[in-house]
Amino acid sequence: MLRDEMITVFGGSGFLGRHVVRALAKAGYRVRVATRRPHLAQDLRVMGVVGQVQLVQANIRVPSSVERAVDGASGVINLVGVLAESGRQSFSGLHAIGAKTIAEASAAAGIDKLIQVSAIGASAESESKYARSKAEGEASVLAAVPSATILRPSIIFGTDDGFFNMFGSIARFAPALPLFGGGHSRFQPVFAGDVASAVLAAYKRDDARGETYELGGPATYSYKELMEFTLKETARPRFLIPLPFAIGKVVALMSEIAAILPFVPSLLTQDQLTQLRSDNVVAEGAKSLADLDIEPETMEAIVPGYLARYRRYGQFHESSV
């Protein structure tokens, strides 16, 4: 049975957004997905019953389109974000100014239920532009809507993620994978479905208003351990070469230069390298998934299922790694 509430989701056509839209639709909410290219997100409609999931055109760089997207909504969820800057898709424009535009439009529409998905490590003092822009976005959101809930996930994994899939793909051709800084940085990967459950729980719970939650999986891993896991599950024995951050900076610069060419993705940016200098785990004492009554899935239970595609013979390959 459908609820009366309409929730506007910005960034609903992305990797995490699809999980969130599915969770909201399953819970019976009507969902309005605000996206720049509605014609590329038609598959979202089948996540609910007929008419439950709507698509509207909106660009967070255009305030009037944001205002139209939140008009009549009971709540707003902002998932917009990029891991690397490209053209007009800048950290400042999306994470800071964009988040502010959404929050101010929500406040003007009288909406006090707002979920802002940020990232672990968000800090105004960070050396990373990504982390600083996330912190600026959080501050702007809370200034406009003090009852907003901030969710900060660690690396998010899932069938179409950009982390394990990227390294699984690279391992098919590269003879070795680099471990910048020795691969000692620690991460706490969290399943996209659990982040979506956190979004739903935070939206429904009154005690989550104005709170900040850091979302991580049940275990932490070093960067080296994540690479070893990826190579094992793809059955691709490769060398892991420790490289100092100074060399990594040169590699990142070359990657950014190559990405200027059409259809050439940037595999590593200097800002991402800066982020690798710090651990990406739930801070001690921070509110977490447990405070939202969510028991997270393990990386080992989910990731092998989709890394099999990178084995020499796919799912039929018998691994000896």
Rounded average pLDDT over 168-186: 94
- Rounded Cα distance between 134 and 117, Å, is 9
Residue 310 pLDDT greater than 90, yes or no: yes
Q: What angle do CA 66, 144, 79 make, to 5 degrees?
A: 50
Separation in Å, CA 317 to CA 32, 141, 236, 286, 312: 42, 48, 11, 42, 6
Residue 87 pLDDT: 80
How much is the pLDDT for 312?
A: 86
Buried-exposed string 53-86: b where 16+ CB fall within 10 A, e elsewhere:
bbbeebbbbeeebbbbbbeebbbbbbbbbbebbe
Please, which pLDDT band fits residue 316 given cuts at 50, 70 and 90? Answer: low
The candidate with the shortest Cα–Cα distance to 74, out of 26, 114, 25, is 114
List the chain domain ranges. Answer: 6-160+189-217+280-296
Tell me the whole-structure pTM to 2 decimals.
0.95
Which pLDDT value is given to residue 262? Answer: 76
Do the strands 190-191 and 53-57 form a parallel or antiparallel pair, or are they unpaired? unpaired
Structure tokens at 229: 């896991």
Q: What is the pLDDT of residue 319?
A: 54
Of 21-25, 166-170, 264-268, 304-308, give the lowest mean pLDDT range. Answer: 264-268
Distance separating alpha carbons of residues 289 and 192, to the nearest angstrom = 12
DSSP for 213-227, please give it. Answer: EEE--S--EEHHHHH
Q: Which helix (H) or strand (E) holds 21?
A: helix 15-26
Task: Return the pLDDT at 33.
Answer: 98
The yes-or-no verdict on residue 116 having pLDDT over 80 is yes
pLDDT tens sequence across 217-232 = 999 999 999 999 999 9
How many Å apart are CA 155 and CA 292, to the nearest integer?
19
For the domain made up of 6-160+189-217+280-296, give the CATH fold: Rossmann fold (3.40.50)
Q: Which residues pair with 76 in a beta bridge?
A: 8, 114
CB 206 within 8 A of CB 110: no
